[in-house]
């Protein structure tokens, strides 16, 4: 199982989107919501309450 590069949600095989950057880095997205937030809008996962990374950062505080 692969996890979403933005929200951290597990992606079922055969679903989601795969994005390959020019430098060869591979990004996996579970939805267009995650894809647009990271690529088009340039947002950081830590800034949004619904992402796994944000929950982890807030639990440490």
- The count of structural domains within the chain is 1
Query: Per residue in 27-41, pLDDT tens?
Result: 999 999 999 999 999
Q: What is the CATH number of the domain that holds 31?
A: 2.30.170.20
Distance CA 38, CA 43 (A): 5
Number of H helices, E strands in the chain: 2, 4
Length of the chain: 61
Give pTM, 2 decimals. Answer: 0.84
* Amino acid 2: pLDDT: 94
Which range of residues forms the domain containing residue 7?
2-60
């Amino acid at each position: 199982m692969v996890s979403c590069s933005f929200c951290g949600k597990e992606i079922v095989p055969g679903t989601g989107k795969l994005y390959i950057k020019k430098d060869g880095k591979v990004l996996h997205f579970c939805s267009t919501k995650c894809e647009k937030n990271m690529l088009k809008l340039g947002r950081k996962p830590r800034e949004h309450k619904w992402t796994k990374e944000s929950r982890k950062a807030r639990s440490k505080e």
